[in-house]
Structure 1
C-alpha cells in the first residue's frame, strides 16, 4: 500500500492574521460569517494587534477597562479591518514617501582648494593623491583638496510602490522571544512553525517517540534569502554605509535558514532536512519532496513551509524596475483617479498593472495515514501528489510558458483517477496563482480554460488569495494552502473583492471567478488544485483532498482501528482547542529551544545494526537491503 500524506496541523501568519484555526482565512470572508464567528475573529485579531489584552479572564483595553468579546468586536472592528490585509506600507517597515538614500555629488573648488575639518579617525585608510591633511587639535584634521571630489549626501526619495501585504498592525514577532540579530523572515519562521506545532493537539515529543529520528523531515526555505540588514542587506550595504559586515549576517542570510532554524530551535530534529527554492512556487516544491518521501516510506512525519519578508525598499524597487509591481501611477491610470485605493492594489483576473508584495510564514505538518490513525491526529486534508514542470525554451526568463499546462493537467488527471469524474467536475475548485499582473490573468486563465474543456468541467470556481494578502514569494502557495483548508471547513470561497469586474481578456468560458464570497456549503467540496507560477519557469500544481474525502479513504483502509482512532482524536481536539483559546487571546510564546537539549556526541552509541542517540526514544536503524541486488 502507498502511504497517503495527510495534513494534521497548519499554522503561520500573514497580512490576514494567524493561520491556525483559520483566523486569517476568516478575515478574508469576514462579512460572510455568522455573527459569532465574526466576533471571535475580530477579538482574536484585536489581541494579536495589541489593541486589547487578556487578563484575569477578561479582555482589557489600554485604559484598564474590562470588555466582553462582543464589546471588543464592536469597539475595535474598524481598527482591525484597517490594520489587516493589503494596505499602505507602515512606518515600522519604512515610509514609502521618504526612503533614505544617498545622492552622489561632484564637488569643484571655486578658485581655492576645497577645505573641510574632520576627525583623523574618520579619514579613509588610503588617502587620495590630491588630499593634503594637516593636524589641528583634539584629534581633528584639516583637509585641503586641490582638484575635485565626490561625496555621498544623505537624502530621501519616494518610491512608486506604496502598498504591501504586511503583518497586522501592532504585531511584532521579534518581541515574542529573544530574537536578537535575526532577520524578520526568520522571526516569522520561528513564530509560524511554533503556531503549527502547537495547533496539532499532540505533543511534539509524542510524535518523536512514535517514529525513528530519521523518519522526520523538515522541508522549508525562502526564495529570496534574508534581505534585511541582519542578512544579505547588511552584508552588501554596510561598507557603503560606513560600517562593516558582522559575523552573523551571512549565516543568517541563506535561503535554507528557515529549515535550519526549525531543526535547531523549534523541533530539535536530527532527521532529514531539505530546502528547495523554486521562486514563487517554493512552497509546492518543498511539499512535493515531502509527499514523495512519505509515499515512498522514507519519512513518516514532514514539516513543510516557507517564510519570507521582502519588505524593504531595495527589493520593492528591484521588482518595480522589472515592471512586476503595481505602482501608484499605474493604478491611477487604470482607475482614472489621482489617488488610487491602497487596499485594492492586487486585482487577480481584473484590470491590473502588477502584483503587490507581501510577507508571510506558512507551515503544515504531514503524517503518513497509518501514523495519523495511530496517534489520533485530527485530519484537515490530504496531499496525494504535487506536479512540477519547467517551461522549456523561453524568450524571457520571467515570462510564463508551457510548463504550467503540464502541471495543471497532470494534477486534474491524478485527482480524476483517485476520486472520479464527478468529484473534479462538480466538487472541485482552483486556488490560482493569481499574481495580479496583466500577463498572468491571460495565461493562467487560458490554462484553466483548456484543462476544464479537456476534462468536461463547467463553471470551475477560481479563488485568488493574493487579492487579500499580496504575493509573499516563497510562501505564496502556503497562503493558498491555508485558505484552501478554510474553504473546506467553512464552504466559503473568498471572492476577488478588490476588483469591480473580470478583465475582458480573461478566458473564463468554463470558469467562475467570483467577485464576492461564494458559498458552496461546508463539506460540499472534494478536492482543490493549488497552482503556482514562478519566475524562471518554476511551475507547480498540488492536489489537496478535503478532510471529508480523506476520512472516508482512511476509514476504509483502517476499519479495524477506526473506533480507537476516533476516541484518541477527541483528546487531540480537546488539546488543540486549548491552544486555540490561548492563541486567540495572544498568549503566545514561540518555541525557541536555544541551547536546550544539546546532544552530547560522546553518548551516541553506534553498532552495525543501529545508532542510539540520547534524547530520542527510538534508534536510527540501518537499512541492510541491497537495492541493486539484481546487479550483484
Structure 2
C-alpha cells in the first residue's frame, strides 16, 4: 500500500504577505474575498508590516492609539496595498536610483609624477618598485608615481532595473529572533519553517512521540539567495572593498543552509536531511524527494521548502546582463510611455520584456495519510506525484527544451488515472511557471495547448503567481503551491491582472488565461509547473483537500474517519489560536540556538537499535538482507 503524502501545514513569506491561512493568497485576490476575510487580511498585513501591534490585549497603531479591527483598512488600507506585491525596490535593499559601485579610473601624470599623501600603514605590500616614498613623520608619507595609476573610486549609477517582489514593507524577519548577523534568506527560513509548523495546530514533540526520530525529513535549498554581506556576497567582495572575511560568511552562504538551519534550530531533526538544487524548480525537486520517501515508507513527516533573498545589486546585474529581467527602457518602449508602472513589470503570457526578481521563503509540512488520520491533522491537500525531466542536448543552457513536455504529460496522465477524465477536464487547473519573458509565453503555452489537445481538455484554467510576487527563484514553485492551496480553499482563480490582453503569440485556444480574478467553484487537481534554467523541469500533481479526504475515507472506512474528525476539532482549535496570534504579529518564532542538545554519552546502542533519552521511540537498525536473492 503506497502512502499518500498529505499537506498538513504551509507557511512562509513573499511579497503578498504571510503564507499560512492563505494571507498572501487573499492579498492577491483582495477584491474578490468576503468582508470577513478582507478584514482579517488587512489586520494581519498591518501587524506584519508593524503598522499596528497588540498592547494590553488591544490593537494600537504606531502612536499607541487604540484602533478597532474594522478601522484598520480605512486607516492603513492604501499603505498596505502599496507596501505589498511587486513594487519599486526599497532602500532597505539598496538605492536603485543611486546604486553603489566602484568606478575604474586610469590616472595619468600631468607633469612628471602623480603625487599624493597617505598614512604609512595604508601603503600596499609589496610596494610597487616605481613608487617613490618620502617619510613625512607622524605616520604619514608622500608618494610619487611616474606612471599611470589604476584606481577604483566610490561611485553611483542609475540602475536600469528598479522593481522586485519584496517582502511587505516594514517586515524584517531578523528582528523576530536573535538572528546573529545571519543572511536575510536564512532569517526568512526560520520564520517560514516556524509558520508552517505552527500552522499545523500540532505540537512538534507530539508528532515525534508517534514515530521513530529517524522517520522525519527536511528537504530544502536556496540557489543564489545568500548573497548578502553576511553570506557569499560579503565573502566575495570583502577583500576587494578593504574589509576582512568573517568566520561565518562561507558557511552561511552555502545553499544547504536553509535545510541545516531547520534541523539545528527549529525541529532538532536527526532523520533524513536533503538539499536538491534545480534552479527555478528547486522547491519541486525537494518536494519530489520528500514525496518519494513518504510513499516508500522511509519518512513519515517532512518539512519541505526553499528560501531565497536575491534582491542585491550583484544578482540583479547578473540576471539583467543576461537580458532576463524587465528593465526601465524596455518597459517604456513596450508601453510607449516615459513612465513605468513598477506594479506591472511582471506580465506572464502578455506583451512582456523579462521577469521580475522576488524574495520569498516557502515551506510545507507533509505527513503520510495514516499518521495524519491518527493525529487528526487538518488536510490542506495531498501530493500524488512530482515528475522531473531534463531537456537533453541543447544549444543554449538557458533555453527551454522538451523536458517539460514529459513532466506535464506524466502529471496529467497520473491525475486522469487517479480521478478520471471528467475530473481532469472539468476541475483541474495549472499554476504556470509564467516567468514573463517573450520566449516563455510561447513555449510554455504551446506545451499546455498540446497536452490539452492530447487529453481533450478545453478552457483549461491557467494562473501565474509571478505576476504578483515576482520570480523568487528557488521558492518559486512554493509560491505556486501557496496559490494552489488558496484556490482550493476559497474557490477563486487569480487572473493575470498585470496584463491588458493575452499576447498574440500565446497558444491559448484550449487555455483559459484570464486577466481578472474569477470564482471557479470546487477544483480537484492543481498542476504546479516549473521550467528552470539549465533544463530543470518539474511538475507536481496536487490533489484538493476534498479529494484527499475522500481517498482516505475509501482506504480507512467510515468509523476511522469519524474518529479522525473528533481529533480534528482540537487541532483546528489550536490552528485558530495560532492564526489569531499571527494576525496580531505574535509569531512565537522557533529558534532553539544551543537548546535541546543531544547527549551523545547517553546513546544506548545494540545490534538492532539506538535509543536516545531525548526521544520517546527508538531508531531501528536494518534487520534483513535486501539482496538475499543474490546471495
TM-score, normalised on structure 1? 0.99
Aligned to 2:562: 563
In 2, the alpha carbon distance for the partners of 1:308 and 1:155 equals 28
Aligned to 1:178: 178
Matches within 5 A, 1:494-533: 494-521=494-521, 524-533=522-531
In 2, the alpha carbon distance for the partners of 1:517 and 1:123 equals 64
Matches within 5 A, 1:239-278: 239-278=239-278
Q: Any idea what SS the aligned residue of 2:456 has?
A: coil
In 2, the alpha carbon distance for the partners of 1:211 and 1:120 equals 66
In 1, the alpha carbon distance for the partners of 2:57 and 2:267 equals 31
TM-score, normalised on structure 2? 0.99
Aligned to 2:477: 477
Shift of 1:214: 0.9
Aligned to 1:331: 331
Shift of 1:138: 2.3
From 538, 552, 571, give the equivalent of 1:554: 552
Shift of 1:125: 1.9
Aligned to 1:460: 460
Shift of 1:45: 0.4
Q: Any idea what SS the aligned residue of 2:137 has?
A: coil
In 1, the alpha carbon distance for the partners of 2:488 and 2:36 equals 19
Shift of 1:134: 2.1
> Once the two structures are superposed, what CA deviation does each residue of 1:537-571 show, in whole Å capped at 9, x if it has no partner?
00000000000000001111122421211111110
Shift of 1:56: 2.2
Contact 1:189-1:258 within 8 A present in 2 as well: yes
> Once the two structures are superposed, what CA deviation does each residue of 1:40-64 show, in whole Å capped at 9, x if it has no partner?
1111101110111122232211222
Contact 2:213-2:270 within 8 A present in 1 as well: yes
Contact 2:223-2:474 within 8 A present in 1 as well: yes
In 1, the alpha carbon distance for the partners of 2:413 and 2:295 equals 18
Matches within 5 A, 1:342-491: 342-491=342-491
> Once the two structures are superposed, what CA deviation does each residue of 1:209-234 show, in whole Å capped at 9, x if it has no partner?
11111100000000225111111111
Q: Any idea what SS the aligned residue of 1:211 has?
A: coil
In 1, the alpha carbon distance for the partners of 2:395 and 2:113 equals 54
Aligned to 2:114: 114
Aligned to 1:628: 627
Q: Any idea what SS the aligned residue of 2:167 has?
A: coil
Contact 1:181-1:248 within 8 A present in 2 as well: no
Shift of 1:117: 1.3
Contact 2:348-2:496 within 8 A present in 1 as well: yes
Contact 1:225-1:254 within 8 A present in 2 as well: no
CA RMSD of aligned residues (A): 0.8
Aligned to 1:594: 593
In 2, the alpha carbon distance for the partners of 1:520 and 1:460 equals 11
In 2, the alpha carbon distance for the partners of 1:509 and 1:112 equals 74
Aligned to 1:540: 538
Q: Does 1:574 align with 2:585?
A: no
In 1, the alpha carbon distance for the partners of 2:58 and 2:351 equals 46
In 1, the alpha carbon distance for the partners of 2:319 and 2:566 equals 52
Contact 1:452-1:510 within 8 A present in 2 as well: yes
In 1, the alpha carbon distance for the partners of 2:502 and 2:249 equals 45
Contact 2:222-2:307 within 8 A present in 1 as well: yes
Q: Does 1:128 align with 2:128?
A: yes
Q: Does 1:67 align with 2:67?
A: yes
In 1, the alpha carbon distance for the partners of 2:348 and 2:127 equals 55
Contact 2:357-2:472 within 8 A present in 1 as well: yes
Q: Which moved more, 1:13-22 or 1:125-134?
A: 125-134
Shift of 1:418: 0.6
Q: Which moved more, 1:21-30 or 1:228-237?
A: 228-237
Q: Any idea what SS the aligned residue of 1:281 has?
A: helix
Contact 1:117-1:143 within 8 A present in 2 as well: yes
Q: Any idea what SS the aligned residue of 1:294 has?
A: helix
In 2, the alpha carbon distance for the partners of 1:379 and 1:19 equals 16
In 2, the alpha carbon distance for the partners of 1:111 and 1:502 equals 64
Q: Which moved more, 1:297-306 or 1:113-122?
A: 113-122
Q: Which moved more, 1:133-142 or 1:269-278?
A: 133-142
Aligned to 1:47: 47
Q: Which moved more, 1:381-390 or 1:557-566?
A: 557-566
In 2, the alpha carbon distance for the partners of 1:594 and 1:120 equals 44
Contact 1:605-1:611 within 8 A present in 2 as well: yes
Q: Any idea what SS the aligned residue of 1:76 has?
A: helix
Contact 1:5-1:295 within 8 A present in 2 as well: yes
Q: Any idea what SS the aligned residue of 1:32 has?
A: coil
Contact 2:224-2:315 within 8 A present in 1 as well: no
Contact 1:225-1:232 within 8 A present in 2 as well: no
In 1, the alpha carbon distance for the partners of 2:399 and 2:603 equals 51
Q: Does 1:201 align with 2:201?
A: yes
Shift of 1:590: 1.4
Aligned to 1:584: 583
In 2, the alpha carbon distance for the partners of 1:144 and 1:589 equals 61
Contact 1:378-1:573 within 8 A present in 2 as well: yes
> Once the two structures are superposed, what CA deviation does each residue of 1:450-498 show, in whole Å capped at 9, x if it has no partner?
0001101000000000000000000000000001000000000111000
Contact 2:429-2:460 within 8 A present in 1 as well: yes
In 2, the alpha carbon distance for the partners of 1:606 and 1:145 equals 71
Shift of 1:500: 0.4
Q: Which runs of 5+ in 1 are unaligned?
A: none
Aligned to 2:321: 321
In 2, the alpha carbon distance for the partners of 1:296 and 1:328 equals 50
> Once the two structures are superposed, what CA deviation does each residue of 1:549-605 show, in whole Å capped at 9, x if it has no partner?
000011111224212111111100000100000000001231100000111211111
> Once the two structures are superposed, what CA deviation does each residue of 1:384-406 show, in whole Å capped at 9, x if it has no partner?
10000000111110010000000
Shift of 1:146: 2.1
Contact 2:6-2:368 within 8 A present in 1 as well: yes
In 1, the alpha carbon distance for the partners of 2:234 and 2:62 equals 37
Q: Any idea what SS the aligned residue of 1:358 has?
A: coil
